[in-house]
C-alpha cells in the first residue's frame, strides 16, 4: 500500500465501480491494516461497534471481492478468509498461507521467490488458486 489514508481507500472503491459507502470503507480499511486474512466473523466483530450488521458485512465482503479489491481464501477448514489485494503490482495472484493446525492462526507467506515459482507452475500444470502450508506455529511448537 502506497497510501493508507481513508481518502485513498474511498478512491479505490470508486475506481472499482462500487459506491464508497462508510461500511465498505471501514471494511476495506480494516482488511488493509490487518497483517493476516480475516474471516467474516472477525470482520463483523470488529465493525459491530460501528453499527454495521453481519449481513451488511457479508454483502460488502463479496462486493469487494467481485470488484477485485479483496481476495478470498479457503485454507482447508471450510472458512472463507478475506484479505486486501495490496497495490504493489506484484500481488495480483495469490500468495501462500501458513495455517497452524493447533491454534488456527493464519500467516501470509510473502516470499517473492515462492510466489514467482507458483506463477510459473500455474503456466505448466494449471491455475493455482491456493497454496497452503500447515504446521505448528512458533507459539504452539515451543
The residues binding Zn ion (CB under 5 A) are 83, 100, 102-103, 105, 108, 137, 140
Strand pairing report for 132-135 and 97-100: parallel
- Nearer to Zn ion by Cβ, of 53 and 102: the residue is 102
DSSP state, residue 50:
T
- Nearer to Zn ion by Cβ, of 54 and 86: the residue is 86
Closest CB 60 distance from Zn ion, rounded Å: 19
Q: Which helix (H) or strand (E) holds 83?
A: strand 80-84
- Nearer to Zn ion by Cβ, of 1 and 140: the residue is 140
SS3 content of the chain, % helix, strand, coil (to 5): 45, 15, 40
Helical H segments across 16-137, by residue range: 22-33, 40-48, 54-66, 112-125
Closest CB 53 distance from Zn ion, rounded Å: 26
- Nearer to Zn ion by Cβ, of 54 and 87: the residue is 87
Closest CB 136 distance from Zn ion, rounded Å: 6
Closest CB 5 distance from Zn ion, rounded Å: 22
Amino acid at each position: 500500500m502506497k497510501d493508507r489514508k481513508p481518502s485513498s481507500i474511498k478512491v479505490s472503491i470508486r475506481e472499482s465501480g462500487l459506491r464508497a459507502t462508510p461500511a465498505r470503507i471501514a471494511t476495506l480499511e480494516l482488511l488493509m491494516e490487518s497483517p493476516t486474512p480475516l474471516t467474516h466473523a472477525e470482520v463483523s466483530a470488529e465493525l459491530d461497534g460501528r453499527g454495521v450488521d453481519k449481513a451488511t458485512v457479508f454483502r460488502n465482503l463479496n462486493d469487494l471481492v467481485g470488484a477485485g479489491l479483496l481476495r478470498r481464501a479457503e485454507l482447508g477448514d471450510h472458512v472463507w478468509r478475506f484479505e486486501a489485494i495490496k497495490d504493489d503490482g506484484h500481488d495480483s495472484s495469490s500468495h501462500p498461507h501458513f495455517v497452524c493446525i493447533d491454534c488456527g492462526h493464519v500467516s501470509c507467506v510473502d516470499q517473492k521467490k515462492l510466489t514467482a515459482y507458483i506463477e510459473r507452475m500455474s503456466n505448466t500444470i494449471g491455475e493455482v488458486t491456493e497454496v497452503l502450508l500447515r504446521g505448528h506455529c512458533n507459539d504452539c511448537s515451543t
